[in-house]
Amino acid sequence: MSRRRNKDGGSASVELAVALPSLVLLVMAGVAMVSLATGQMRCVDAAREAARAVARGDSASVAYAIARQVAPRGAEVRVESSGERVIVTVSARGQALSRLVAPMPISGRAVALREPGDAWGGG
């Protein structure tokens, strides 16, 4: 019986061994980007909800509580008032792949105009 020799000599295994870690790294980078984008959207949503709350007459403590419910864990909330405008900024550290990469800053900002009178339009 004669043995057939494989012409590639194991090069397919080597190519797979080189390509597989690259593929894993690419997938991890994709997951990290999605995680950061989600955190960014949560910061923007938190700022918008808090700005709406202050604009309709709720206290700053209520706005902080609303923002912290929506924002990523450990986010900082800043509420500023300038005449008729309310400006809320929510900032956090994006923790995507935190053991491999330094956390990246993410933030969201919203501006709302104060509503005249009470929340029910009573003047």
Average pLDDT over residues 57-71: 92
19 phi and psi angles, rounded to 5 deg: -75, -35
Q: What pLDDT was estimated at residue 94? A: 79
Question: What confidence tens digit (pLDDT) does each residue in 19-28 have?
Answer: 888 899 888 8
Quick one: which of 7, 112, 17, 9 has its CA closest to 66?
Answer: 112
Indicate whether 123 pLDDT > 70.
Answer: no
- Distance, CA of 88 to chain centre: 16
Q: Where exactly are the structural domains of the chain?
A: 11-113
Indicate whether 102 pLDDT > 70.
Answer: yes
State if pTM tops 0.85. Answer: no
Residue 111: pLDDT band with limits 50, 70, 90: very high
Q: How far apart are CA 101 and CA 55, in angstroms?
A: 38
